Amino acid sequence: MLSNESCEKDYLDRIPEGWEELWEQEMKKEYFIEMIKWLKKEYIDPDRLHQEIYPPQDKVFRLFYLCKPQDIKAVIIGQDPYHEKDQADGIAFSFNGKGKVPPSLKNIFKELGYPKEYAHATDLTNWVEKGVFLMNSILTVKEGKALSHQNKGWETFTNSVIKYVSSKRMALTFLLWGKYSHEKAKNIDEGRAHFLYYTSHPSPLSARKWSGGYRPFLGSKCFDVLKMNTGIDLKTFDEI
């Protein structure tokens, strides 16, 4: 039987069910081999004392275990994971920590019109289960340092994910929030009848501003667009 330590060490080598074609394609590429090798060292680096890597290893690819390509109806692309303790859970914008709700997520709830009593219902796993693929552009981060795992290979990987999903499916809705997300649009197969809806990012610095000529996030009615195109109503408040 494998020890817990062994399980942790091989987690990054596993292939999520349903994603075998994409993984087998990427695993052979030098960038992916080097990225996983580097990431494994990051998680066990003794010089990284008191500075964790988020999310935990067993949640890095959690999104892919929760949602197979054929189950995706819409895609929302974030930047990188929350970088404070016990916050990142492998789903973009989802928050399972204690304490204050991240400000971007607060604005997402504001745009949804969530009543105050739902302000702590921050786990977005149920969104993914409904077919909303919430993926960050970069899947890991060093504690306290946003974008600290930028240019390590994740951007190439998530570009490949978007290309793969958009080439395999028809008429997906892409909610593109902010510059980082807008730049991913070039990977979407334009010949597959996908719908792209651009807004600024939901962070407090951007939520009320235009971004690259696109409407502010707050007031954008992007979730109404999502419902109209996919039938997914995120304004239906689930049980707390």
Q: Give the residue numbers annotated as catalytic, written as ranges.
A: 80
Number of C-beta neighbours around residue 148 at 10 A: 17
Rounded CA gap, 126 and 184, in Å?
A: 24
Name residue, tokens 């007031």.
Answer: 219
Q: How many angstroms separate the CA atoms of 68 and 176, rounded?
A: 21
Of 137, 162, 42, which Cα lies nearest the Cα of 81?
A: 137
The runs of H, that is alpha helices, within the chain are 4-10, 20-27, 30-44, 62-66, 103-112, 125-129, 154-168, 179-182, 222-230
Residue 168's closest CA among 70, 95, 66, 41? 70
Q: Are 181 and 104 in contact (CB under 8 A)?
A: no
